[in-house]
Structure 1
Amino acid sequence: MPDPTPADFTPRRVNDTESKRKRLRVARRRATGLLVLFGVVYVLATHFGAVHGSLAWVAAFSEAALVGALADWYAVVALFRHPLGIRRLPHTAIIPRNKDRIADNLGEFIQGEFFSRDRIVTVIDAIDPARRAAAWLRTPANAEKVASWLRNGVRNAGGLLNEDEVRGYLQRAVSRHILATDLAALAGRILASLTRSGRHHEVLNLLLRYTAGQLRRPELQQTLNSLFAEKLPLYFPRLKHWAGTKGGEFTARTLAELLEEVEQTPDHALRAHFEAWLQEFTHALQHDPDYRWRLETLSRKVAQHPALHRYVDEVWTEWRAAATRDLHAPDSRFEAFLARQVLRFGEVLDNDDAMRAWVNARARRYAPQLVERHRARLGRFIADKMKEWNESELVDKLELNIGADLQYIRINGALVGGAVGLVIHAASRYL
């Protein structure tokens, strides 16, 4: 289901306003009709009072009801405008005349009562935001919605990046990382670790096996044959070709057999030589200044070499292109990954009491601070918004929302006034 846009709310707002206006008209007609009814009843009961004694009671009731209805009509109308348009009547059009003061008081009331620290903490404790967030995030549709928001945010943020600045930053970062790395010490520690655990024999066996396999390749043997035939100091071409062929194949086969023998013999003499050389080389990497200087020089050359910068540019270009394609694809893998992570986080949050307690504690701590920081602005915003309305607009908005209920005050005033009139009439008859 798509998110509602402001345009979606416009017809609903119009229908709601029309419904309130219709309700206000109906309530006004009822209250005014009751006022007219009591006026007619009073006239008739008074005129025909001699016909029957009970009409005096009807006249007393209707008279008092008429007075109560008129008094409440005056009170309700005086809130919003001047009754009968008479501007000289005191204390009328109370709301329009005091619009700014009402706005300030309302803003202060809302910021003091609705956005107080104690109120915010009470609401947080009541709603348990961590539990609600967990339940919301565990819903697949909501997780997909969050993932879609995040993907759109990343996609929009990508368009704001300055390509030259990003490339320059990546090049500098890679260069700084290479320069900051002590290659000699790092290599020495790696080799020392391999030696202590005996894993260097596995590495050696891998190298021996690979090299022996390469030496047995016909392509390599043919290359060695050509090299031997070219370099042998013989005059006759046929002899050079025959000697080169035999020498290349023999050399390659002999070296391959030797390497295979070393690989298959754990206590071979060459392994002892390799072990001694490896220990010496490891010690030199860690302690020999000459080795360290050579590797530092190599690091500087690599960090400053244009090829490294070109490589970083190519990696960035390829990565950005791939990321852009995925972010714009309808079946984005990045969005699917985010949705899975959101679902997983919701499940973890729902099952981890300690994490929920931590989230709620953070909400109780920081939410009141945030509200406290902006509470005065909220109050001023409400007050300023009310002050922007002109008098007729303010009266119209208030009448639409509370005017219908105020008309029932007129009806109740008439009925209560009539009851009081009966009491007074009875008292005057029997006292």
Structure 2
Amino acid sequence: MLKRATALTKMKGVASGLLLLAALLYVVALVLTPGHPTFGGYLKAFSEAAMVGAIADWFAVTALFRHPLGLPIPHTAIIPRNKARIGANLGDFICTHFLSREQVLHKVQEFDAAKRLAEWLSKEENAIALSGLAIKLASHGVGALRDERVRHFVRGTALARLEHIDLARISGQLLEVLTDDGRAQEVLDELLAHFDVWMQGEATQQRISEVISSELDVLRFSFFGKELPLHNLAGNWSSKKLVKRLSEVITEVNQDADHPLRKHFDEQLVSLVHKLKEEPAFRLRADQLRSQLMQHPALLGYLSGLVDDVVNWFEDDIRQENSELRAHMSKGTRKLGEALSEDLSMQAWINDQILALAGPLVERYRSEIGRYIAERIEAWNDQELVEQLESQVGKDLQFIRINGTLVGGLVGVLIHLATEFATRL
């Protein structure tokens, strides 16, 4: 701004200097004319016309911004007097010729944001910078969790949200998802398979054997002073038979899609879903369970400890030079960029979404932009408006004064020459 003001002042000095030079030439012409009428006449014609052109153009340029000599001459100070209309017209012009829907969408389409984004993310320095920024922002948020006021707010907000959760209905809806498209049977197959593996384990069989042996303690007796562990033998035999039979049943269920156990499982699951979603007793019991959990000090202590553990781990990791979290984020960012670079259909989808969003945004905010331009110009102080415009175009406008001085002088010489020629005829 200072540089432009200096240049404007310099050009004003040049234009005013030419006017003074023309006035000086006029004085010289008056002195020379009696002794040198021909040369003096041409010099006088040039200087007179130059002064007229300079003054006329000075008046025209000045009248754009202010009243010449401070006199309220009509049709002067054009810009300050018409700033509201100028602002409105400028806003309309920009909205019509620069912010039309077709023009903006064409430029957005040419920009190819998806491709540029992919290329930007693929560069290692950008991935590192982005991950660093994300870590820095996250560290501020995570660090705030150490403040007791924040912890109290988060805990209170979370508990308040939990109080409005319909635990029974949500549980019923989750179970209902399992019953759709035969997914419940898939879950049953997995459960039975895991149960079979667990039952086949030595530790499980040993535990079953011990339980059965303790129940058959009546078989423990001595013969000729020596204890006979018939209860242990019976327990081992029974546990093996039990495990074998359960395994056979599981195999039968897995191989028979119409096994009665499958039908019974579906029926019980459907019944449970209905009770959870519709029966008041189940919902009341779920609400009571939720209240007990929320009021239990162990739960609050666990949640607080969990938050502290997460915060400690996060802060310890990001302080290290070889931060795993930062490295994973940087690597993931680059991979995302590389994958996006190779996936033209995904790029097309992203660009389509941007185009779909840009259209309504242009329509919504275009008129507001126009109003903002008009209101901003109208709200400007007259002096501020003049200074802003004059700093931008005032230097070029001074060339009008310079040209007016020179062209006016030349025209004066031509008129004087034509007059001399006409009088000699």
TM over 0.5: yes
* Partner deviation per Cα, 1:310-333 (whole Å, 9 max, x = no partner): 698677656655565577678287
Q: Does 1:372 align with 2:363?
A: yes
Tell me whether 1:424 sits opposite 2:415 in the alignment.
Answer: yes
TM-score by length of 2: 0.71
- Residue 107 (structure 1) aligned to one of 91, 106, 111: 91
Cα distance in 1 for partners of 2:354, 2:87 equals 31
**Other-structure match for 1:176:** 169
Structure 2 CA distance for partners of 1:333 and 1:59, relative to 1, 3 Å: farther
Q: Contact between 2:199 and 2:205, CA under 8 Å: does it hold in 1?
A: no
Counterparts of 1:78 and 1:296 in 2: how far apart (Å)? Answer: 85
Q: Out of 38, 57, 81, which is 1:72 matched to?
A: 57
Instruction: Pick closer, same or farther for the CA change 1:317–1:72 going to 2, 3 Å.
Output: same
Measured in 2, the distance between the counterparts of 1:270 and 1:327 equals 47
1:133 partnered with 2:113: no
| 1:143-182 alignment, distance < 5 Å | 143=127, 148=133, 152=137, 155=141, 163-167=155-159, 169=161, 172=165, 175-180=168-173, 181=175
**TM-score, length of structure 1 as denominator length:** 0.70
Structure 1 match to 2:104: 120
After superposition, the Cα gap between the structure-2 partners of 1:74 and 1:298, relative to the gap in structure 1 and judged at 3 Å, is closer
Instruction: Tell me the equivalent position of 1:402.
Output: 393
| CA shift in 2, pair 1:384/1:179, >3 Å | same
Residue 179 and residue 415 in structure 1: after superposition, are their counterparts in 2 closer, same or farther (change >3 A)? Answer: same
Instruction: Work out the percentage of aligned pairs sharing the same amino acid.
Output: 29
For 1:68, the aligned partner's letter is G
CA distance in 2, matches of 1:373, 1:297: 50
1:30-109, aligned counterparts within 5 Å? 30-49=14-33, 50-51=35-36, 53-54=38-39, 56-87=41-72, 89-109=73-93
Q: Which of 333, 337, 351 matches 1:346?
A: 337
Structure 2 unaligned blocks of 5 or more: none
1:259-296 Cα shifts (integer Å, max 9, x gaps): 99x6xxxxxx8854554577443343235x6x865897
Question: Aligned pair count?
Answer: 391
Deviation at 1:94, TM superposition (A): 1.5
- Check the 8 A contact 1:81/1:92 in 2, yes or no: yes
What letter is aligned with 1:106?
A: L
Summarize the Cα distance change of 1:276–1:105 in structure 2 as closer, same or farther, 3 Å threshold: closer
Q: Work out whether residues 170 and 312 of structure 1, in 8 Å CA contact, stay in contact via their aligned partners in 2.
A: no
1:190 aligns with 2:182: no
Matches within 5 A, 1:191-340: 193=189, 203=194, 206-210=197-201, 212-214=202-204, 227=214, 231-232=217-218, 243=227, 246-247=229-230, 250=233, 272=248, 275-276=251-252, 279-287=259-267, 300=282, 303=286, 305-306=289-290, 320-321=307-308, 331=318, 340=331
Gaps of 5+ in 1: 1-16, 263-268
Q: Which has the higher mean CA deviation after the structures are superposed, 180-189 or 102-111?
A: 180-189
The aligned amino acid for 1:80 is F
- Determine the structure 2 residue equivalent to 1:265: none
The Cα of 1:222 is off from its aligned counterpart by 8.8
Q: 1:165 to 1:407 in 2, by over 3 A?
A: same
Instruction: Say if 1:216 and 1:252, in contact at 8 Å, map to a contact too.
Output: no
Question: Is the CA contact 1:209–1:259 (under 8 Å) kept in the aligned structure 2?
Answer: no
Residue 346 of structure 2, aligned match among 329, 352, 355 = 355
Which amino acid letter does the alignment assign opposite residue 186 of structure 2? I
Comparing 337-346 and 155-164, the one that deviates more: 155-164
Specify the alignment match of 1:9 in structure 2.
Answer: none
Give the counterpart letter for 1:425 in structure 2.
H
Does the C-alpha gap of structure 1 residues 168 and 113 become closer, same or farther in structure 2, counting only changes over 3 Å? same
Determine the C-alpha separation between the residues in 1 that align with 2:312 and 2:102.
50
Contact 2:168 2:276 in 1 (8 A): no
Structure 1 pair 104–182 and aligned structure 2 pair: CA distance change class (3 A)? closer
The residue aligned with 1:6 is none
Structure 2 residue 346 is matched with structure 1 residue 392: no
Computed over aligned residues only, the root mean square deviation of the Cα atoms, in angstroms, reads 4.6
Looking at structure 1, the residues matched to 221 and 238 of structure 2 have their Cα atoms a distance apart, in angstroms, of 28
Counterpart AA for 1:286: D
Write the deviation string for residues 324-369 of structure 1: whole angstroms up to 9, x where unpaired: 5577678287776555554444334433333333433444443232
Q: Which moved more, 1:21-30 or 1:310-319?
A: 310-319
SS at match of 1:413: helix
The whole-number CA distance in structure 2 between the counterparts of 1:188 and 1:355 is 35
Provide, for residues 53-94 of structure 1, a one-character-per-residue CA deviation record: whole Å limited to 9, x for no partner: 55544443333222221111111111111212222x221211
Describe the shift of the 1:167–1:102 C-alpha distance in structure 2 as closer, same or farther (beyond 3 A): same
SS class of match (1:207) = helix
C-alpha change, 1:324 and 1:385, in structure 2 (3 Å) is: farther
What is the rounded CA distance, in whole Å, between the counterparts of 1:389 and 1:174 in structure 2?
A: 60
Report the Cα distance in structure 2 between the residues aligned to 1:71 and 1:390, rounded to whole angstroms. Answer: 28
Measure, in 1, the Cα distance between the counterparts of 2:404 and 2:76: 19
Task: Name the CA distance, whole Å, in 2 between partners of 1:273 and 1:336.
Answer: 50
The answer (yes or no) to whether the contact 2:209–2:238 under 8 Å persists in 1 is no
In 1, distance between residues paired with 2:113 and 2:379? 36
